[in-house]
Each structure stands twice: as C-alpha cells, then as structure tokens.
Amino acid sequence: MKKSFLLLTSLFLIGACSQSEQEASSQPESMVEYTWMKAGPNFSAQNLAGLITMWNTMLDEMNCRLNGANILTPEAANEGYDFIWVHLWTSQSARDECWNAWEGSSYQSDWDTAIDGVMQYDLDNVYLFKPTTGRIPKKQNDTGSFVNSFFFCNFNEGFAMSDLDSYRSELANIESFSDYHWYVLLEPMFVPDDPKPDFVWLDLWGSDADKASDTEIWESTDLPAKAQAMVSCNQNQNLEGISFKGTVIRS
C-alpha cells in the first residue's frame, strides 16, 4: 500500500448487479480501495464469474461491510497488471476489520487455492482513498456498468487549490451533462511516490457515448483553457485521463 497509484491492462466481460462507485463515494465515512490484479493462463470470463461468486459468499460469511465492489478494465494496456479490483468500504474501520479477519485465515488460503492459475493479487499494490463527491448524478446508474477516467494532477506555477475551487464552481454551473455523470476527488490514505499529485480527480459516466457527449459540452466552454493553464495531469499537458470500463461485482 505504498507505491503511487499507476493504472492497468486487458479486457473481459462479466455479468453484474445494480450499483456503481457512486454509493460508496457519497457516504461521509466511505473509502475506496484499489487492488492490482494479474490474469493467469486459465483466466476466462467463466472462471472469473465463479470466483466472484465465491468471493461474495466469503465476504458475507465474514460479515464484511461494503457498499459494493467493481472491477475496472483499462482502455490502454500496461505491462504491470491486467485489471483493478475495487472495494467500496463503508468506513476505514470496516476495511481494517475485514482485512484483519481475512489475512492468515482459512478464507485466504481457500481463495489462494481457488484463484491459482486464474489470477493473482498484489498486496504491495493496494491503494486506499477517501472520496469527496464533487457532483451528484441526476439519476442512479443501475445498469451494472460504467466508464471512468482518473486524473493525477499537479498545479502549474502560480496556481493553487483556490483556483481549483473556482474551476469547480464554474463546472457546477453546467447543467446539461448526462444523467449519470459525476465526479469525486480522491484523497490518498497512503504516501504516494514522487511526483506526488496535488489532487486526484475521478470522472464517471454511464457509457462511452455519455462521456463523448459531456466532453463535447465541456470543450464548448472556456473551462478546458482554464484547466490547461492551471494543472498538468498524469504527467502530461494534454489533460488526458487514464480511462477504464467498470463492471459491478457486488451490490
């Protein structure tokens, strides 16, 4: 849980229930946790679905308190990992209690046996964030899927958090974004590696079509120019997000 939060690879499809990161991020004490995962030689949608069922049963038996869980698959490949497993904890204490109950237990040993050859998790790359909701979506997304983009940003010279607050106020005045669009700011609950971001921004949409439509609306304003002057994100000047497709695996 130490290294900076880098992002992922690969594509698969699984069935899902109704929920997104929205419910966890709208709770005042909620936490969002990202675990890097690597696909094995026996990875398949069928094998993954079976493991998800086992995992949900395990959490129920341990009485773990989550608002839900997702899997994120990246739109751009990366050698280091294949997908992200997202826990939407009800609180920091709920997160700690569940991990403590799991580590070293028969649940962990059974899980390690079950996933052997299918996928691997990396406990050195588990990242916990405290989310603060910046925009509430007009409607609850019950489709079981979504898309999102992460921005790890640093202020350009002469700019500070007060400028971001002004930008957010202007953004809030745009009422024509799609029904499922919302965003959160993510505060790391760990010490990021350098270069440490000044803030982490996460945009979420119901679909790629919604994302494209909302981006067009945003680009029709003066906000892109203001953002370009204010920040550099993901170590580039283009304000390009690190994008994923999300699938709900627990509700």
3-state secondary structure 110-132: HHHHHHCCCEEEEEEEEEEEEEE
Those residues with Cβ within 8 angstroms of residue 197's Cβ, 6 or more apart along the chain or in another chain: 152, 153, 154
Backbone angles phi, psi at 188, to 5 degrees: -65, 135
Flag whether 10 is in a domain.
no
Higher pLDDT, 4 or 168: 168
Q: Tell me if the pTM is above 0.85.
A: yes
Predicted local confidence at residue 240, as pLDDT: 87
Inside any domain, residue 13: no
How confident is the prediction for the chain on average, in pLDDT? 89
HSE-CB of 246 using CA atoms within 13 angstroms: 33
Residue 3 lies in a domain: no
pLDDT digits (tens, 9 = 90+) for 10-29: 222 223 333 344 444 445 58
Tell me how far apart the terminal alpha carbons of the chain are, to the nearest angstrom: 25
Which pLDDT does position 235 carry in this prediction?
A: 79
Containing domain of residue 144, as a range?
21-250
User: What pLDDT, on the 0 to 100 scale, is given for residue 28?
Assistant: 56
pLDDT tens-digit map of 131-141: 999 999 999 99
CATH number, domain containing residue 168: 3.30.70.100
Residue 189's pLDDT band (boundaries 50, 70, 90)? Answer: very high
In a domain, 221, yes or no: yes
- Domain assignment of residue 214, yes or no: yes
- Asked, for residue 12, whether it belongs to a domain, the answer is no
pLDDT per position as a tens digit, 66-87? 999 999 999 998 877 899 999 9
CA 251, CA 246: separation in Å to the nearest integer? Answer: 14
Mean pLDDT for the stretch of residues 173-187: 97
Torsion region of 106: left, alpha or beta (phi above 0 gives left; psi -120 to 50 gives alpha): alpha
Sign of the torsion angle spanned by Cα atoms 8, 13, 14, 20: positive
Three-state DSSP at 105 gives coil
Whether residue 32 is predicted with pLDDT greater than 60 in this model: the reply is: yes
Number of domains in the chain: 1
Q: In sequence order, what are the beta bridge partners of 115?
A: none
Q: What is the pLDDT of residue 193?
A: 85
Mean pLDDT of 229-239: 87
For residue 15, being part of any structural domain is answered with no
Structural domain includes residue 244: yes
E-strand stretches of 107-239: 119-135, 145-155, 182-188, 199-205, 231-233
| φ, ψ dihedrals at 23, nearest 5° | -65, -40
C-alpha 94/C-alpha 78 separation (Å) is 31
